[in-house]
Each structure stands twice: as C-alpha cells, then as structure tokens.
Amino acid sequence: MAIKNKTQLVLKDKDGKKVVHEKNNLTAGDVLDALECQERMYAENTTAVKQFNELVEFNISLFNSDEVTRESILQGLTNDEAFSALNQPILDILGIDPSSEENEKK
C-alpha cells in the first residue's frame, strides 16, 4: 500500500481538451473526508444516485476550485469513466491501489 501525497481529477473542457486538476499535500483532514464519503456511500439503503452524488460533492470539496463544479464534472467525464475517475481521489488519499490488490490475489 503506497500512500500518495497528491491526487488529480482529469476533466474535459467545453472544447474537449483535457484539464488536469491537482490536489497536492493531502492531509489527515482529507483522509477523514474520504472515509466519511465512503461511509455515506455504503450506508444501508443508499441508492446508486446518492452514491454518485456523494462522489461528485466529495470531488468538488476536495479540489476546491472554481473550475471543479458539478457542471464541469457532469459535462467533463464520459459515462464509462465517471465512477472510476471520481473514485480515484479517494483511493489515492487512502493509499488503495486496486491493481496491486489484484496482483496480490494472484
């Protein structure tokens, strides 16, 4: 488990160009926020809509930029990348690398 001290969210702008949003110097507060987000996402009777909204709101709060908004996220990610792109900052903050976990199982 390799803890990263930064994370990023890549969104496409109105012209279709990739814009990389970075959050450097992650803190213990970011860890707590990520854990609380996961707790809300996986609470009993939580719908997929609520889970997705939690991810969107978490990323807006984490990146804390006028350029990372609900609209920029919804328009800047394709349907097939949305969940993984929005979940990646949580994985980075918590030091979870799904690819290394898969390798450990083999």
Res 100: pLDDT: 74
What pLDDT, in 10s, does the model give residues 50-96? Answer: 999 999 999 999 999 999 999 999 999 999 999 999 999 999 999 99
pLDDT for position 30: 97
Check pLDDT > 80 for residue 49.
Answer: yes
Long-range CB contacts (within 8 A, 24+) of 6-11? 6/92, 7/62, 7/88, 7/89, 7/92, 7/93, 8/89, 9/59, 9/63, 9/68, 9/73, 9/85, 9/86, 9/88, 9/89, 10/85, 11/68, 11/72, 11/73, 11/76, 11/77
Average pLDDT, the chain: 93
pTM of the model: 0.88
Q: Where are the domains of the chain?
A: 6-97
